[in-house]
Amino acid sequence: MRQDTVGRPMEILLVEDNLEDARMTMEALKQGQVQCRVSLVRDGDEAFRFLHRRDIYARAPRPDLVLLDLKLPKRSGRQVLEEIRASEDLSSIPVVVLTASEIHEEILREEGLEVESYMVKPVDIEQFIRVVRHLRRYWMAEIILPAFD
């Protein structure tokens, strides 16, 4: 990206109930020098309220990317993904599924639940950074706007 571009850090919604996995994911973003702001929610119901800006999340930013764990309390990651894909307002948000098993990838593909990428946990930092950089085409941070004088 050119030095004279104007933009903002991307907004990432991390939906992860395991705090150690969340810490490792945020560390990978930091190590990859990804300019972002991460909002962490820890269950599927909380993710739903965040995405739809309900209750305490009324002023939540619209995420540019969702990093979604599949095994969540209250509402599964699969249910959250179904809601994102079914919503006219949310369906364009890229989703990267964080899963403990490659079997989940096969199940989601069979069900037709499209995601931009899958990452098996524990997340390999180098692989994660490659996925994040590949997804930049979706991020507002990459839109080149005129510089202000």
Residue 30 pLDDT grade (very low, low, confident, very high; cuts 50, 70, 90): confident
Q: Does residue 4 belong to any structural domain of this protein?
A: no
Selection from 71, 70, 75, 59 nearest residue 96 by Cα = 70
Q: Does residue 148 belong to any structural domain of this protein?
A: no
Q: What's the pLDDT at 66?
A: 93
Q: Does residue 65 belong to any structural domain of this protein?
A: yes
Between the CA atoms of 26, 27, 32 and 35, what dihedral angle is there, to the nearest 10 degrees? 40
Q: Does residue 3 belong to any structural domain of this protein?
A: no
pLDDT tens-place string over residues 70-126: 889 999 988 999 999 999 999 988 898 887 766 766 766 766 667 777 677 666 667
In terms of DSSP H, where are the helices of 32-148? Answer: 44-51, 77-86, 102-111, 125-134
Spatial contact of 39 and 29, defined as CB atoms under 8 Å apart: no
Q: Does residue 66 belong to any structural domain of this protein?
A: yes
Task: Flag whether pLDDT at 131 surpasses 80.
Answer: no
Q: Does residue 144 belong to any structural domain of this protein?
A: no
pTM over 0.85: no
Spatial contact of 50 and 80, defined as CB atoms under 8 Å apart: no
Q: How far is CA 49 from CA 5, 30, 58, 97, in A?
A: 33, 26, 8, 19
Number of domains in the chain: 1
pLDDT tens-place string over residues 33-80: 777 889 999 999 999 999 999 999 999 999 988 999 988 999 998 899
| Cβ contacts of 75 within 8 Å, gap of 6 or more | 43, 44, 45, 47, 48
CATH of residue 110's domain is 3.40.50.2300
Selection from 42, 3, 37 nearest residue 22 by Cα = 42
Q: Does residue 146 belong to any structural domain of this protein?
A: no
Residue type, 16: E
Range of the domain at 112: 10-137
Q: Does residue 5 belong to any structural domain of this protein?
A: no
Tokens of residue 26, six digits: 């945020």
